[in-house]
Amino acid sequence: MAGTLILVRHGQSEWNLKNLFTGWKNPGLTEKGIAEARAAGRKLKAAGIVPTVFFTSALVRAQHSLDLILEELGIVNLTITRDQALNERDYGDLSGLDKDDARKKWGEEQVLIWRRSYDVPPPGGESLKDTAARTLPYYEKHILPAVEAGETVLVAAHGNSLRSIVMAIEQLTPEQILKRELATGEPVIYRISKSGELKEKVAI
């Protein structure tokens, strides 16, 4: 029997709204972000998809999003695994800076390279390749085995940590994953076989 993997990027955070580099910083959700997370829970409920295993990052915006999704699903008394392996990409010296101010300081071309290259990290931070180097081993050791066992696994995390997982599941190249944006609060759902192969991507 195939298992199901649900990936949800957290709802809009206060720093998303302010156009700031966030990374490992810990702002909360905006009212819009709260509504997005609740909407994700309602979509899953309407589709009859009931998660049984739960993972999130060590950051508040992802944890709060997961709590809101579960509230909409009416799921209580559960065990949630939280781990910083699922944290957002660390933006290093860019963290907390307005994106426009960063462009003024380092130049638009350099900031674009840091944001959109696969393996060039910002000063003191991580590239998407670095993020994948911590996220994928955790996924393969802790998350994928539960999916392969037939569970319905919900992972509430971040744009770049989830893109690392999407890259592995869909077997995308670095160039392809750089073009893939994950919208806040939008579930991405996969059916995965007992041998770990993608069977289908589910639209709800």
Mean pLDDT of 61-75: 97
Cα–Cα distance measured from residue 95 to residue 15, given in angstroms and rounded to the nearest whole number: 10
Which CATH number applies to 3-202: 3.40.50.150, 3.40.50.1240, 3.40.50.1970, 3.30.360.10? 3.40.50.1240
Determine if residue 88 is labeled as part of a ligand binding site: yes
The verdict on whether 186 is a catalytic residue reads no
pLDDT value of residue 161: 97
The verdict on whether 10 is a catalytic residue reads yes
Determine if residue 89 is labeled as part of a ligand binding site: yes
Average pLDDT, the chain: 95
Mean pLDDT of 103-109: 94
pLDDT value of residue 66: 98
Determine if residue 163 is labeled as part of a ligand binding site: no
pLDDT value of residue 204: 87
pLDDT at residue 5 greater than cutoff 90? yes
Written as one string, the DSSP assignment of 149-183 is: TT-EEEEEE-HHHHHHHHHHHHT--HHHHHT----
pLDDT value of residue 49: 95
Mean pLDDT of 95-103: 94
